[in-house]
Amino acid sequence: MILEEIPALIYLGDNKILSFAERRKTTNDASTVALDMRTGKVNKNKGTNPAVTIKWSDLNPVKQAQLDGCRPMNPCPVYEKKSKTLFLFFICVTDGISEWKQINSGNNQTHLCYIKSTDDGQNWSEVNDLTDKLHEIKKWATMAVGPGHGIQMDSGRLIVPLYAYYEAKSPFSLCLYSDDRGKTWKLGNTFKTHSLECEMAEIFDVTDNSILYCNARHAWRRVEAESRDEGEDFCSLGHSPLVETNTGCQGSVVSFPDQSEKQGHNKWLLYSHPTKTYKRVNLGVYLNKSPQNPNAWSKPSIINSGPSGYSDLAYIDDGWFVCLMECGEQTETDQIACRIFSYNDVEQAIAE
């Protein structure tokens, strides 16, 4: 039996959307055999119900996302808009080696890789392995990107979220970035707070200064942080009221235009995550209209009742969102499903 887990989603504009996931033999992380992709066409039909639909292609493996003797994991796409170049970041881990084995031994056997496409994922480059090109990686026991999407900031900087374990077995989030449209890549500094799988979004303060917001997994509480130098350094936003599930679960975050009558760069945040502390169930989306204030998060709007796991959000303009999620009737890893909803849907659910 082939399973699909660890979803990632990227909206390219022009009604084009792509999804990625790990193809596994079992639910074990070490059983991944390939990264799969679907292409989607967003259809917006005003006055109809539903108003927005997506027509998805068949599922196809991304054959170029491989290194010999390794398994590919953690798809993390990011799109460079000016050159229309899609980058698919992922990690490649030596076959048979688990994350915990690397952490306990301090022996990193994970490669930081990407492939790229200039035709919306129809054709891909050969694998680029950054592992030996970034000297910081030599200090790490292991690492992973995302999983989920990366972003391009208004300045043009490309941001890929990741986390790394050091020899002391402590995980810290950070970002990989590029200022030359993906020709070269650099690593920012790690968080000072223990943090794991993460996603990032660009927001703006009251004077329209750019802020890179990060929402990261932790064992018992979410970690929220911000950077005012485009990801080179992050500072904590303090205690987050957002629910973390049991030993933690990946979550997704996107920024989107202020839906009020205000002008300027003002952005709001939408965040998805299971809503219970004891188990991965009832995936919800939370709204924050004051993103620099962790206490401004709304209560969740439930978009999937029952077992729910990893998720990835995309904003597809005009107040509409897409969420790709692990879910099922028996367990959260039964399938990957897609939900489409509007800002008005979220606002109405929160008000109830």
Q: DSSP secondary-structure letter at 24? A: E
Q: Phi, psi (5° rounding) for residue 152?
A: -115, 125
Q: Which of 22, 36, 312, 326 is flagged as catalytic?
A: 326
Asked whether 143 and 129 are in contact (CB, 8 A), the reply is: no
Give the DSSP per-residue string, 106-142: T---EEEEEEEESSTTSS----EE-TTT-GGGGGEEE
271 catalytic, yes or no?
Answer: no
- Specify whether the backbone of 268 is left (phi greater than 0), alpha (psi in -120 to 50) or beta: beta
Sign of the Cα torsion 219, 191, 297, 75 reads negative
Q: Which of 79, 310, 315, 343 is flagged as catalytic?
A: 310
- Give the whole-angstrom CA distance, residue 166 versus residue 113: 19
Q: What share of the chain is helix, strand, coil (3-state, %, to 5)?
A: 10, 50, 45
310 catalytic, yes or no?
Answer: yes
- Give the whole-angstrom CA distance, residue 311 versus residue 283: 9
Asked whether 11 and 17 are in contact (CB, 8 A), the reply is: yes
165 catalytic, yes or no?
Answer: no
Q: Which CA distances in Å does 276 have to 191, 198, 245?
A: 26, 19, 6
- Residues that are catalytic: 29, 310, 326
